[in-house]
Structure 1
């Protein structure tokens, strides 16, 4: 290892974040870049030697990290998502796992001449998929809800079971594979499942009790839960070796399905921590790989990969989904998506080292074979899953639509204009008169509070990716923005200001961090738009040309136009805001609110070249009365 320890650790962290950013930029799973950089920093350049860097703490660090990652993933599993799919998921983590185990073991036995014990151990390791690769792939593929729920549940639930199966096979190998070994393995299995489940449930109950009764201050909630997770994992593992992963998975699932328990902030914290741990783990594990081992296992390793992808996975899914309401298209995509992730890599590294220590021949080759499966499944399926989902017509539509909070006159006028441009919209309001008016105008509307539990279960957000908060109530709009921050990208959250927010000082206004981008600019308010519409203003679409550019458009309508949206030649909609000045080009369409010449209304929108200048005060002739 070159350089000092501190610099090496900092390099791992920096490389991990760079890989995550590159994955976001290219819309590919981060594991690809993490494995590449790990191999480059490890066996290629020799910069990182994980065994020398961490010493005896390496595998305890790996185990704890995997435990935290599994806990975070299990906290997203809601039983309500499994309606009609519970049997499929149960079969996938039992029947499907058994099929994959047997076929993968046979492939390793016949194609690579692995011993029976070593082949069985490899088969157990590769039955896992894992949230670290499934979730990013689902984000890019965007399959329908049934497929996404099945794959996510399978990926999280099967990880501890796969690790448990690997433990049982490992113990069977060490026990001599005799008649007594089977009884010993079954006893180990029962103890592991029992202790892991009990410790997980008790930990969840203790956590829920403390959080419900506010026995820890708000600023300590995240660290308190993290300490309990580590404690549950450690205690369970102490009572029964390798039961800790099951304990934290049970703990997370129990908390996720506990009623009236707010864990949103804890989940946010754990997601950030898991991202950091995943980045570090993949680099560290990849840095331990010895490249010459890949040359030794050679081409037969690709044969094993092919058997897993084209025989084991499709057969396992076919048997698991038999008799379910999944159609053949949905089953086909589930059968194709089965990438391996961090748990497979970590378990392979741990048991290969343990078998090497007891002198088991060929144990070291489990690592390169497992990494071949990880890299192969991730690369091939990442490149093909999205096109396959579109071909099978099981992909959700592009999230180009808008959720509009409020169904008053302003929201309906804007919603109708967007709908006419073929953008999907969904209005939401608790005012029945507004809802009735929206329905009479042919606008889809959810009658109720958009931040209610009922909305979470019933409001259709398929194909919707942006939020326009324009209820005319500043506090409610800000609350909606905060609620949907996890659903939409931060730059896709917009909020129409109210006239009151312009009149009061900062101590009465909502903090910027809790609000969306000012919709149509900081000079435009809900009351202003309502006044213009009542005075006869119309929302018109105007096409720009080389001879009639945006400046000419503003000159044409002078002070009686409020630009709202711009639609480019690819039908991508751009929102006019003060934070993101739009510079329309020839061929674009401008959607603006145009007032009649004799209405006496006046508004002077800033031109693109004026965006950096200090904003001028709004000239408004009609009284500002919120449209409620």
Structure 2
């Protein structure tokens, strides 16, 4: 049994990596390729692998997100994002809320959902993905001016916690059938972001100093320590009421700010871990999808996709950047560099965990 699992798993990993050449050549996000490989290997695909455990998929997705966001923080240069900090934060918070709201307006009537379910749908697919965005920008060798690249980098790396907060909050409202007051929701949001940010800052500032003092005998122990450190941060941030995902992203940014032993090797290691996690989660979620079920929802899915591209995301960006110095063309470009990634697919498993009637 173990040998069979390892055989299929290794073949799928190699297939994902080799097929990523499609991304390099045609500018197709590699994450889409990974998802397609998982679907082809699933119960309706070539290998016929049966997998329908959504709780395992959700747990795998949560662990993957921790290390993907951490690696994103390590790749973020604080100096480059400082000039766009205000606009980036507005896009990552208000922009997500506006996008989710506009999506909800469509799916309420398109899919016949009630308002809370429609808002849940919108929240799940409201955030963007840095890996998908820069895979295309890198493949097409696009040079960006007026600090657009660091703005997109900051927004993509930091808007996931807002989408997660909205999704979890609406799930709780649906489950307990009680709508909390606006001040209560605002207080919870501020608490999660402040405590998550503070914990991330503390852990991010502390790790370089620890590495420089420890002087471990073997370099291989540094990445092990780093992985344990980020997992500890995620758990502790949640225990004190903060947002663990935001905490690990901010920790990565502040770790990158300092010099410490084996820094370059450590960042390279976590980049590899992030790619591994993305492949694993997209394979896992691809196995959950039965291609035979897709034709029934293809038209609605296409309508939602076009609505995001031409209405929801642009309105979120234009309203969020109303007071910025970006011109109309730049705002349109920022709007369309809003590709969905791993987070919406992971969040799509959350309604199953809550046993909602319309989860499927």
**TM-score (structure 2 length as normaliser):** 0.88
Partner of 2:255: 255
Partner of 1:47: 48
Quick one: structure 1 residues 171 and 283, their matched pair in 2 at CA, closer, same or farther if it must change by over 3 Å? same
Partner of 2:152: 151
1:339 equivalent in alignment to 2:339? yes
Partner of 1:118: 117
User: How many angstroms does 1:182 deviate by?
Assistant: 5.5
Q: Equivalents in 2 of 1:239, 1:51: separation in Å?
A: 33
Q: Equivalents in 2 of 1:289, 1:122: separation in Å?
A: 18
- Alpha carbon RMSD of aligned pairs, Å? 2.6
2:44/2:290 contact within 8 Å kept: no
1:20/1:279 contact within 8 Å kept: no
Q: Equivalents in 1 of 2:55, 2:101: separation in Å?
A: 34
> How do 1:523-562 and structure 2 match up within 5 A?
none
Q: Equivalents in 2 of 1:318, 1:150: separation in Å?
A: 14
Name the SS of the counterpart of 1:143 in structure 2: coil
User: How many angstroms does 1:169 deviate by?
Assistant: 1.4
> How do 1:169-180 and structure 2 match up within 5 A?
169-178=170-179, 180=180
User: How many angstroms does 1:237 deviate by?
Assistant: 3.5
User: How many angstroms does 1:269 deviate by?
Assistant: 0.9
Partner of 2:36: 36
Unaligned runs of 5+ in 1: 365-628
User: How many angstroms does 1:294 deviate by?
Assistant: 3.0
> How do 1:99-248 and structure 2 match up within 5 A?
99-141=98-140, 142-145=142-145, 146-178=147-179, 180=180, 185-186=185-186, 188-217=188-217, 218-240=219-241, 243-248=243-248
Name the SS of the counterpart of 1:363 in structure 2: coil
Q: Equivalents in 1 of 2:164, 2:346: separation in Å?
A: 10
2:132/2:341 contact within 8 Å kept: yes
> How do 1:148-547 and structure 2 match up within 5 A?
148-178=149-179, 180=180, 185-186=185-186, 188-217=188-217, 218-240=219-241, 243-258=243-258, 260-261=259-260, 263-349=263-349, 351-355=350-354, 357=355, 360-364=356-360
Q: Equivalents in 1 of 2:23, 2:215: separation in Å?
A: 40
Render the CA deviation track for 1:345-397: whole Å, top value 9, x for unaligned.
11112x12123x3xx22121xxxxxxxxxxxxxxxxxxxxxxxxxxxxxxxxx
Q: Equivalents in 2 of 1:362, 1:3: separation in Å?
A: 38
> How do 1:605-616 and structure 2 match up within 5 A?
none
Partner of 1:16: 16
Q: Equivalents in 1 of 2:207, 2:77: separation in Å?
A: 18
Please say which structure displays the higher CA radius of gyration: 1
User: How many angstroms does 1:30 deviate by?
Assistant: 0.8
User: How many angstroms does 1:100 deviate by?
Assistant: 0.5
Larger deviation, residues 37-46 vs 190-199: 190-199
2:87/2:151 contact within 8 Å kept: yes
Partner of 1:62: 61
Q: Equivalents in 1 of 2:324, 2:57: separation in Å?
A: 44
Quick one: structure 1 residues 193 and 88, their matched pair in 2 at CA, closer, same or farther if it must change by over 3 Å? closer
Partner of 1:621: none
Question: What is the number of residues matched between the two proteins?
Answer: 355
Render the CA deviation track for 1:590-628: whole Å, top value 9, x for unaligned.
xxxxxxxxxxxxxxxxxxxxxxxxxxxxxxxxxxxxxxx
Render the CA deviation track for 1:290-348: whole Å, top value 9, x for unaligned.
34543443523322222111011112222233343323332221122211000111111
User: How many angstroms does 1:18 deviate by?
Assistant: 2.0
Render the CA deviation track for 1:85-134: whole Å, top value 9, x for unaligned.
23321221123222201101111101111121211111111121112211
Q: Equivalents in 2 of 1:237, 1:290: separation in Å?
A: 34
Name the SS of the counterpart of 2:348 in structure 1: helix
Partner of 1:478: none
2:124/2:344 contact within 8 Å kept: yes
Unaligned runs of 5+ in 2: none
Render the CA deviation track for 1:537-589: whole Å, top value 9, x for unaligned.
xxxxxxxxxxxxxxxxxxxxxxxxxxxxxxxxxxxxxxxxxxxxxxxxxxxxx
Higher helix share: 2
1:97/1:127 contact within 8 Å kept: yes
Greater relative contact order (Cα 8 A, min sep 6): structure 1 or 2? 2
Q: Equivalents in 1 of 2:183, 2:82: separation in Å?
A: 37
Q: Equivalents in 2 of 1:150, 1:193: separation in Å?
A: 20
**TM-score (structure 1 length as normaliser):** 0.53
Name the SS of the counterpart of 1:228 in structure 2: helix
User: How many angstroms does 1:187 deviate by?
Assistant: 5.3
